[in-house]
Amino acid sequence: MDDLRLLDTVERYIKGEMQPDERVHFEQLRKTNPEVDLLVVEHTFFLQQMNRFGEWKRFKSLLSNIHVDLAEKGQINSARLQGKAKVIYLWNRYKRVSAIAASIAVITTLVISSLVWIIAPASPRSQFEELNKKFSQLEDKTRKQAKEIDRIKDKATSVPQDIPFTTGGTGFIIDTKGYLVTNAHVVEDAKQIAIQNNRGEYLVKVVFIDTERDLAILKIDDENFKPYSSLPYGLSKQTAKLAEPIFTLGYPRNEVVYSQGYLSAKTGFNGDTLSCQIEINANRGNSGSPILNRKGEVIGILNGRQTNTQGFAFAVQSKYIFDVIETLKKETKSPTIRVPSRSLLNGLDRTEQVRKVQDFIYMVKVN
Amino acid sequence: MKGLAAGDRKIIEGIYKDHFNMIQSLIVNNNGTADDARDIFQEAMVVLYEKVRTGSFELNCQLKTYLYSVSKRLWLKRLQQNNRLFTQEVDLETTVPVDEEIGQHEKRDAEFELMSQAIQRLGEPCKSLLEAYYLRKMNMQDIALQFGYTNSDNAKNQKYKCLMRLKKLFFSEYKNGNTHG
């Protein structure tokens, strides 16, 4: 009997799949042959370990699933640390580090910014294509008809029906109160902006634009909007790793579109350090789409592609969203935007992740 | 309790809903974040689950007290590891001794970690093949079809080779781990 057949037999023996006479025969063999006996004992132990490992894994993923569900329904308090508790916690944890870091940071910032000022080249923008889309007249018409039907079906929307939206992109929620982020070039020179997905259609206003980083913060300005209870994804402060698998959801069509790829370079167009290069299928309308990693953390925002090559695109790194929020806080008196830094999607499979994220991603329509 | 042992989603969701907020306030008031709370609570649920599955478990206090005690012990352990302090000493809530469970839990966790690492180190297609057969309990015909083997015997052959490698990886680490204590 060769090893393969032996192990197969042992496995059947352990699982109790043997016929009675075969079983008697095998038990006889076990008694006479100590090696076989040892194999049975060892393999039983191993299979038990495997089984329990499997159950343990299933149970853990069930728990994370339940957590996200309950948080969505607002049945558990999954608010992040707030107010005083957070300040004390952070202070205790980082007081020593922060003192040192602050002094180093001041010096380096001064040196680097003066250097950049002197040597930064003006980048040729012509090869770089921004991926906001233009709605053709026909498309606009279809969309209006569809909307008309929706309205008849009594889906209240406060967005006036006669605005001819001409361009658009994608945006996603970063704060449950209704703050979104998208690319600056999507909403530049906009007269009116609306967002739309399966959840509904809302009017938004621009809170802040940073053309340097190509980021814009929008706020939903609509009485029909109900705040979310929590966000499924978090925003990563780290630079993504090379070859990290990524996926995105966006609105290159009037329908949400999924695509996946990987991070192919840590810098963007012409060595731009604000962004990174990703290998992904991106089209007009994908501008402003979140780039998520396997754990469900947003690592960037898609903002453009190179015109003379196909297949790769560029994304603004997500850590700059934090910078923009910081600037916003200093310059205006708007309420603080709270961005979650940890994702609740870790450990879920991709279809589950996408299902949970969908509701937080909107088509941005600009007039 | 039977529902929990069988992995009934409704029942687990109920336990989750009724107790999570309590554990969260314990953690958050003691130097933790909401994310820590989530980790600790889920770990405590795993402890409970494992305990219930042994069949011999009798709850001689309220479920609430049990989960609270386990979570508190787990959190204390983690704080000690990170040299952080548990600021608020025992509140009025009574706790029950759970040392035995925590000890067993740590041992099991270490074993699962070993298994997980061994499977990771196998690489593809071994990893998916073994997971399909042993963890998702698919039969050999379906596996042959899904992985593109021409017949189930070839798949079986490949599975055997993979299994031998996994056992080798697992047991070498397992024995090492045991001798090191």
Q: Any idea what DSSP says for residue A109?
A: H
Map tokens 């397992």 to a residue.
Answer: B174
Tokens standing for A347?
């450990």
Looking at residue B21, its pLDDT comes to 83
**pLDDT tens sequence across A47-87:** 888 888 888 888 888 888 888 887 777 767 655 444 455 56
Q: Are A227 and A235 in contact (CB under 8 A)?
A: no
**pLDDT tens sequence across A112-138:** 888 887 776 655 556 777 777 776 666
Q: Is the pTM above the cut of 0.90?
A: no
The CATH number of A128-367 is 2.40.10.120
Tell whether the model's pLDDT for residue A193 goes beyond 50. yes
Looking at residue A289, its pLDDT comes to 92
Read out DSSP for B84-149? ----S---SS-----HHHHHHHHHHHHHHHHHHHHHHHH-TTHHHHHIIIIIS---HHHHHHHHT-
Looking at residue B163, its pLDDT comes to 83
**pLDDT tens sequence across B42-77:** 888 888 888 887 776 777 777 888 888 888 888 888
The strand pairing partners of A363, in sequence order, are A170, A196
CB contacts < 8 A (A, B): 91
Tell whether the model's pLDDT for residue B179 goes beyond 50. no
CA A82 to chain centre: 23
B163 touches chain A (CB under 8 A): yes
**pLDDT tens sequence across A3-51:** 777 777 787 887 777 778 888 888 888 888 888 888 888 888 888 888 8
Round the average pLDDT of chain A to a whole number and report it: 81
B139 touches chain A (CB under 8 A): no
Say if the Cβ atoms of B112 and A8 lie within 8 Å. Answer: no
Which of A233-247, A260-274, A280-294, B112-126 has the weakest average pLDDT?
B112-126
B156 touches chain A (CB under 8 A): yes
Looking at residue A291, its pLDDT comes to 93
CA B167 to chain centre: 21
Residues A257, A263, A267, A271: is their CA dihedral positive or negative?
A: negative
* Nearest Cα to Cα of residue A317 among A305, A337, A302, A339: A302
Which residue ranges form the domains of chain B, and what is each CATH number?
2-97 (1.10.1740), 101-180 (1.10.10)
Residue A118 has a CB neighbour count (10 Å cut-off) of 7
Looking at residue A149, its pLDDT comes to 64
Which of A101-105, A297-301, A310-314, B89-93 has the weakest average pLDDT?
B89-93
How does residue A1 score in pLDDT terms, banded at 50, 70 and 90? very low
Q: What is the nearest CA distance from A361 to chain B, expressed in angstroms? A: 24
- Could you tell me the CA-to-CA distances from B74 to A18, A255, B50 in Å, in that order? 44, 46, 15
How do beta strands A297-306 and A234-235 pair? parallel
Say if the Cβ atoms of B13 and A66 lie within 8 Å. Answer: yes
Percent over 70 (pLDDT), chain B: 86
Extents of the domains making up chain A: 3-73, 79-120, 128-367
Give the type of residue at A125.
R
Looking at residue A180, its pLDDT comes to 92
Give the type of residue at B66.
Y
**pLDDT tens sequence across B11-32:** 888 888 888 888 888 888 777 7
Percent over 70 (pLDDT), chain A: 84
**pLDDT tens sequence across B144-157:** 777 777 777 777 78
Read out DSSP for B18-76? HHHHHHHHHHHTTT--HHHHHHHHHHHHHHHHHHHHTS-----S-HHHHHHHHHHHHHH
> What is the C-alpha to C-alpha distance for residues B29 and A60, in angstroms, rounded to an integer?
25
* Nearest Cα to Cα of residue A215 among A243, A180, A168: A180
Select the residue of B17, B32, B112 nearest A76 (Cβ to Cβ): B17
Buried b (16+ CB within 10 A) or exposed e, B83-106: eeeeeeeeeeeebeebeebbeebe
Torsion of CA A181, A65, A236, A364, to 10 degrees: -10
- Could you tell me the CA-to-CA distances from A77 to A296, B16, B20, B34 in Å, in that order? 21, 12, 8, 9
Looking at residue A82, its pLDDT comes to 47
Which of A151-160, A337-346, B34-43 has the weakest average pLDDT?
A151-160
Q: What is the nearest CA distance from A350 to chain B, expressed in angstroms? A: 16
Higher pLDDT, A364 or B121: A364
In this prediction, does ipTM exceed 0.85?
A: no
B173's CB contacts (< 8 A; 6+ apart) are: B114, B117, B118
Which of A39, A49, A65, A95 is the mutation pick for testing B, counting most B CBs within 10 A? A49
Q: Which positions in chain A have a beta carbon within 8 angstroms of at least one beta carbon in chain B? A: 3-4, 7-8, 42, 46-47, 49-60, 62-64, 66-67, 69-70, 75-81, 85, 89, 92-93, 342
**pLDDT tens sequence across A251-302:** 988 888 999 999 988 888 777 888 888 988 888 888 899 999 988 899 999 9
Select the residue of B42, B111, B167 nearest A63 (Cβ to Cβ): B42
End-to-end CA distance of chain B: 34
Tell whether the model's pLDDT for residue A154 goes beyond 60. no
Tokens standing for B176?
């090492």
| A3 chain-B contacts, CB cut-off 8 A | 160
**pLDDT tens sequence across B89-104:** 555 456 677 777 778 7
Residue A272 has a CB neighbour count (10 Å cut-off) of 15
Say if the Cβ atoms of A60 and B167 lie within 8 Å. Answer: no
**pLDDT tens sequence across A169-182:** 999 999 988 899 99
